[in-house]
Structures are given as C-alpha cells and as structure tokens.
Amino acid sequence: VSTQSTGKKVTLELGGKSPLIIFEDFNLRNAVSVAMLANFFSQGAVCSNGTRVFVQRSILESFTKQLVERTKKLRVGNPMEEGVKVGATICRMQYDKILGYLETARTEGAEVLCGGGPITPEDPELAGGLYIEPTVLGGCTDDMTVVREEIFGPVLCILPFDREDEVIERANATEFGLAGAVCTDNLSRAYRVVSEIGRGGILHEYQCVQ
C-alpha cells in the first residue's frame, strides 16, 4: 500500500500476539476476569486479544487456580442463548488449525490445565459443530509456538515473570505489536510500563472490572 502521493497515514494490521501483564498489586478476581475476557470473548477470534498472559510469580499459583476454576464453568454452545459464553469456531480450516496448535503445545511441553480439545455442547442440535473448549496452558515459555504465533482461538498461555524490566523485554519480544494491557494499581508503574511497550494500543486496567 502506497500513500506517498497523498500523505495519508495508514495503519496495517498484520496479526496480534498481544501481552497482558498482571502485577501482584492488582485485585486477583479482576485480574482473572480481564484475562478471560482477553482470551475467550468471541471464541478467542479477536486480533487484539491478550493471549500472552504474563503473571507476576508471587500470585501465579492463586491466579492460575482461580482462572482454571472459572474457565471450567464457561458454557459452550449457541451464543444467542442466555448464559452461553463461548460459541463455535468460524470454519473447519480454523478449527483444525487451533487443534493443531494445541497438539504442538503438548509436544513442546506446555501443560493443559483445562480444556485442550473439541467439546460437544449440551444442546443435541449442536452435535457435530466446530466447538473447542476454552483452554488454559501452563508451563509455557517464550519460545513455544503457541506463545509466538497467533492462534485466533480460545487458548490462553500463562507466562510467569519476576521483575518489571524483565516482563517489558519479554512483552516486546514479538513480531506482532498490535495491542497490549497492563494490570496494576500503581499509576506510576502503569505509565512507565506502557511507555516502554512497543504495541499499537495499550490499555491500563485500574480495578475497573466488577
């Protein structure tokens, strides 16, 4: 695309593998809510999803426990029905692609904490549909395929971190700089981290999730 002759500004969306950074001072329940919304809304088919969930190690265990518990309760089925949170994958090609990524994740050493495969909703009319369980992967490392490549499905990767400078460097280590989010109650840290992350658009979560 050339805009040299017109001088117009153009933004090209080339994919997303956005970081969601959760610091230990952020409310735990709200942090889990943010992570679930950033990965399972619209079956994970959102280009700006925060699929690399960086969690400060001091809260990793409690965060993971609550995340898995709540993810297991998500209803899969017809999204037009009340209480259903996750619908079908858009097409067979994408469905197979997501399952392929999950198999690769297992091969590369990720731990499937919940989900991880196809699911048949309760409604018998939906049998044979392209439904995938909301999936949480633990034991992830920055070099894994599921951490580096856009899956475009309901797959969340947990990545522990210790220090602010460390997580900034790791968050920036991606080809796809579409978006990002920082969860902290410390406004000074929020502005500091946001200014250092090279993403297209950054959201600061400040205890705004009920």
pLDDT of residue 175: 83
Per-residue tokens: 97: 């692609």
pLDDT per residue as tens, the chain (210 positions): 566 678 777 766 666 799 999 999 999 999 999 999 999 999 999 988 999 999 999 999 999 999 999 999 999 999 999 999 999 999 999 999 999 999 999 999 999 999 999 999 989 999 999 999 999 999 999 999 999 999 999 999 999 999 999 999 999 998 877 888 999 999 999 999 988 987 555 555 444 433
pLDDT of residue 4: 67
Report the predicted TM-score, pTM, of the whole model to 2 decimal places. 0.90
Q: Do 31 and 22 touch, CB atoms closer than 8 A?
A: yes
pLDDT of residue 14: 61
- Residue 22: its H or E element: strand 19-22
The full DSSP string for 52-118 is EEEEEGGGHHHHHHHHHHHHHT-EES-TTSTTEEE---S-HHHHHHHHHHHHHHHHTT-EEEE--SB
pLDDT of residue 16: 77
Beta bridge pairs of residue 53: 20, 158
pLDDT of residue 207: 44
pLDDT of residue 203: 56
pLDDT of residue 47: 87
pLDDT of residue 3: 62
Per-residue tokens: 148: 């580096």
**Active-site residue, from 24, 47, 108, 164:** 47
- 47 is annotated as an active-site residue: yes
- 208 is annotated as an active-site residue: no
